[in-house]
Structure 1
Amino acid sequence: MKGEFHAPELDPEFFPGQYYGDIIGEDFLGGVFALDRIMIVRLLVAAIVVILFVLAFRKPQLVPKGLQNLGEIAVDFVRVHIAEDILGKKDGKRFLPVIATLFFTILFMNVATIIPFLNISPNARIGAPIVFAIVGYITMIYAGAQRYGLGKYIKSSVVIPNLPPLLHLLVVPIEFFSTFILRPVTLALRLMANFLAGHIILVLLYSATNFFFFQFNAWTGLSALTIVAAVLFTVYELIVIFLQAYIFALLVAVYIELSLHADSH
């Protein structure tokens, strides 16, 4: 019955700088280029995404094969099932570069959560989701401002026609908050919360397996349950990995479409 369970330590991952050795390059140029483990994973995944797409499309063939074929299938999925489904062919093609970039970058960064020796999605810390949300937010405002002009776009987005004048005092602030503040905030928080929670659950399940199997001898049988649970949750994470990238890109497309038709509020 002897054994000791050490709870997983998340502080070095999510609050770097408090522990010796968890920052690389903090003494170089005043720490401008200092990196912790999550930042290294972000840079690694971003480099992989760029390299894969460069290799896939550097010498495009009329009849695609190999990596080019996979790349075209992936891009066509985003084009047809996200961009064109929401925005139509003309605007879908126009905003496809932004939507596809968000989708594939988020997707590959999500995958890192189940890759051995990486074991965490860079999206589990709020920095990357904020950047992705800002990109979607700027694109949304750009779409509306280009079509209507910034002032008319904002007015069309927050003012509901044919309301009694006094109700505008209540409705306009609510519409402004939900359109220009809540949308980017929820985009970022949804993405972060899903992968932070998934990371914590996987860490707890695998830590429990280690504890029951190697330390708590009288309860070794429980390790079979915890490892099965961990594997099943990893399979579930595969679904979440794709689903969260899809939802993020889809919502950005929806927000762009709402901006393009702000006058039909």
Structure 2
Amino acid sequence: MNETLLSGVMLASGDVELPGVGDFLLPEIIFPGTPFAMDRIIMVRVIATVIMLVVLGLTAARVKLIPGRWQAAVEWVLEFVREQIVYQVMGEERGKRYVPMITTMFLTIFVFNICGIIPGFNIAATATITMPLVFAGWCFVQYWIAGIREKGLGEFLKEELFPKGVPAPIYILLTPIQLLELLVIRPVSLTIRLFANMLSGHIMVGLCLAATQLFLVESHSLMAVIGVGTFAAGIAMTLFEAFVAALQAFIFAMLTTAYINMSYPEAE
């Protein structure tokens, strides 16, 4: 009780230094203090991107009429995105325009997500808000482009902000909500869904392995039994994180396709 009271007094008097935003940012490890500074998570993004481009480039350069196992696996992924995500939502005629975009988004998000369980990386490249926000921004730029191209800017905004079949007085309440949804709610919901899932998974795996280190390696007592349990939980969480990495890439790609499709007149 006294310690709690003392802490409260120190906090009220300003003697306690509260953490700032900088305390939650990773330290810069390359080119610190310059516009090209990189922290660990940016390095993971760069390395993962280079590896992905090299692997896909080599696969394309060595493509054969009768595919081997690796080529068949890559072609299956590309076909899955094309058929089960893009064409399933948009149809083939309209979807052809967006297959490259959605495929790029799916593969990049999956590779960035899976970095969280790769030794040496040990952190998902989507575990900060920036990368999911970039993908969400890309989605909604395409949403606006498609809507304006198909309907014109005026008609697009009219249909988005003033839905048909609504009594006129209701627009006083509905239109600001529609505008907020169009500009904020949809992109933010996409961003937070990806960011929160990958960050929480990374934290859970980290907690399980940290507990294993404490109980199994350092305790030297009967508490080691708990360490065996936390180690098993860590393995299970790692496997689950691999599943979530693929699932979140699929969900993000599917929602992006659905949102863009909503901007077309037939999707009303």
Shared fold by TM > 0.5? yes
Q: Which position in structure 2 is the counterpart of 1:68?
A: 71
Match for 1:249: what amino acid? A
SS of structure 2 residue aligned to 1:253: helix
TM-score (norm 2): 0.87
1:229 partnered with 2:239: no
* Whole-angstrom CA distance in 2 between matches of 1:67 and 1:114: 22
Give unpaired runs (5+ residues) of structure 1: 1-10
Residue 23 (structure 1) shift: 2.4
What does 1:1-265 align with in structure 2 at a 5 Å threshold? 14-17=24-27, 22-27=28-33, 31-218=34-221, 219-261=223-265, 265=268
Residue 13 (structure 1) shift: 9.5
Question: 1:13, 1:38 within 8 Å by CA — same for their partners in 2?
Answer: no
* Whole-angstrom CA distance in 1 between matches of 2:248 and 2:48: 17
SS of structure 1 residue aligned to 2:96: helix
Residue 160 (structure 1) shift: 1.4
Question: 1:13, 1:37 within 8 Å by CA — same for their partners in 2?
Answer: no
* Structure 1 residues 67 and 123, CA gap change in structure 2 (3 angstroms): same
Residue 12 (structure 1) shift: 8.9
The CA deviation string for residues 186-226 of structure 1, in whole angstroms up to 9 with x for no partner, is 11111110111111111111010000012222211111100
* Whole-angstrom CA distance in 1 between matches of 2:257 and 2:23: 32
SS of structure 2 residue aligned to 1:217: coil
* Whole-angstrom CA distance in 1 between matches of 2:73 and 2:56: 10
Match for 1:16: what amino acid? L
SS of structure 2 residue aligned to 1:123: coil
SS of structure 1 residue aligned to 2:249: helix
* Whole-angstrom CA distance in 2 between matches of 1:247 and 1:58: 30
* Whole-angstrom CA distance in 2 between matches of 1:195 and 1:25: 27
Match for 1:108: what amino acid? V
* Whole-angstrom CA distance in 2 between matches of 1:47 and 1:14: 27
Q: Which position in structure 1 is the counterpart of 2:5?
A: none
SS of structure 1 residue aligned to 2:65: coil
CA-atom RMSD, angstroms?
1.8
SS of structure 1 residue aligned to 2:38: coil
* Structure 1 residues 170 and 156, CA gap change in structure 2 (3 angstroms): same
Question: 1:83, 1:253 within 8 Å by CA — same for their partners in 2?
Answer: yes
* Whole-angstrom CA distance in 2 between matches of 1:151 and 1:63: 51
Q: Which position in structure 1 is the counterpart of 2:6?
A: none
* Whole-angstrom CA distance in 2 between matches of 1:154 and 1:52: 42
* Whole-angstrom CA distance in 2 between matches of 1:12 and 1:239: 32
Residue 59 (structure 1) shift: 4.8
* Whole-angstrom CA distance in 1 between matches of 2:229 and 2:44: 31
Task: Give the number of equivalent residue pairs.
Answer: 247
* Whole-angstrom CA distance in 2 between matches of 1:234 and 1:92: 35
* Structure 1 residues 197 and 217, CA gap change in structure 2 (3 angstroms): same
Question: 2:261, 2:267 within 8 Å by CA — same for their partners in 1?
Answer: no
Match for 1:260: what amino acid? Y
Residue 180 (structure 1) shift: 2.8
* Whole-angstrom CA distance in 2 between matches of 1:16 and 1:138: 30
